[in-house]
Amino acid sequence: MSTSWGPFEAIRGLRPDGVIPQVTPIRRLLPDVPTEQDPYAAAQAALAPLASAVRPGARIAVTAGSRGIHDLVVVVRAAVDWLRDAGAEPFVVPAMGSHGGATADGQREMLAGLGVTPESMGCPIEATMETVVVGTLDDGTPVHHDAVAAKADGVLLVNRVKPHTDFHGPVESGLAKILAIGLGNHAGAAALHAGGIPSLGGAIEAAARMVIAQGKILGGLAILENMLERTASVELVVADGIGGAAETALLQRAGSLMGRLPFDELDVLVVDEMGKDKSGTGMDTNVLGRCWVHGIPEFDSPSIAAISVHSLSEASHGNASGLGLADVIPARLLEQIDLRTSYVNALTSGAGGARRSRLPMVLQDDEAAVLAAVTMSGRRDWSSVRLARIRDTLSPNELMVTPALLTEAAERFDLEIAGTARHLTDPSGCLTGWQELG
């Protein structure tokens, strides 16, 4: 933090009493997980059925989003190269809804942070916040479509298919969403979210079909990732399958591949880093077991009493969307937040931003934040506190755990001890590093 903490000066020196038990590194022993060794070749092979649909000289927009997709650069570049080899003139369009502060320059900057640049793609990147309205849903909601994409001769979608962080249904986060919300830009994202999260899934499907009816969507490359957050498969979904049975089948596969915490009940979860490159909500709600959206049922598991989060990723560019899912943060995280960018995202999300945009309790440093989380967890005997630490919600398979969880881990065939016991924080109050893991 800076010299002056402003209104947060009141918490300087506030440190709950108690001693955090030592933690020991453990890791989950994973079965053989499906992994695509050459995502570039897989993407190009998947596109083969579209060869007859690409006219020489056609200007084709290829989407790139803002999530932490491991092989985003590789797959988008494969699509661009394939289209060029087919005689088209490809270019990349950001498909991010309101992200990047709801500005074209902000979205270009976010793509650059993900490695998507004109140089890495070998083609132009054309960004705008302007849209055209292609129709209205039955309830009167306007369906917006990116103005640059609308002028193109065709559009090829690229996105990861995975369970959504806000709702569950036959179509969640994937191709229909990047078409309806991502390419809806700020106006489209806000319009679809305004009806509330319970209706969002159906609105996405209906809006996607309306855009597809314009006849310019070639199809979509769906990236499925395994529990190690590596590409498991790259699949083509033709236009008619987007938002339909084909995408639903891929969603079911993606759900079975997703990584989750190895414990169903925790007193405290310590998350080193959150961010838009980790999840649309900064931390994946499917991992935390917290949804916190009006009208949406909460998860059955995991059950976590208190969560502390300790930093915001650089790739988030200050967007702390989802910070309200945490209970406690260290004061230095405040300096990493761009409130305007965060609030634009929250407002666009409608009901999805109401609780998640709240500021958690702020303590002086990492140690004080964890002490506060344990204090508020409801565990009277700290020697038996069930505390786990992870790097982020993309990495739930490597943890540091307290003795109560270590005893359980020792009896599990799917977990192994990966190092020796150590203090969770150093003498300066900062979290200790992960580099010592064996």
pLDDT attached to residue 1: 43
Query: Can you give the pLDDT at residue 150?
Result: 96
Q: Mean of the pLDDT values across residues 342-356?
A: 85
β-partners of residue 274 are: 312
pLDDT of residue 130: 93
Lowest mean pLDDT among 82-86, 264-268, 294-298: 294-298
What are the residues facing 23 on neighbouring strands?
Answer: 422
Phi-psi domain of 135 (left: phi exceeds 0; alpha: psi -120 through 50; beta: other)? left
- 344 vs 75, higher pLDDT: 75
Cα–Cα dist 319/331, whole Å: 16
Residue 433 pLDDT grade (very low, low, confident, very high; cuts 50, 70, 90): very high
Residues 247-260: pLDDT tens digits?
999 999 998 888 88
Alpha-carbon distances, residue 162 vs 27, 139, 232, 247, 274 (angstroms): 23, 27, 12, 10, 18
The amino acid that residue 244 corresponds to is: G
> Per-residue pLDDT tens for 149-191?
999 999 999 999 998 877 788 888 899 999 999 999 999 998 9
pLDDT digit string (tens) for 95-152? 988 777 778 888 898 888 889 999 999 999 999 999 999 999 999 999 999 999 999 9
Write down all domains in the chain, each with its CATH number in brackets. 6-20+259-417 (no CATH), 39-257 (3.40.50.11440)
Q: What is the pLDDT of residues 35-83, one digit of tens each?
A: 999 999 999 999 999 999 999 999 999 999 866 788 999 999 999 999 9
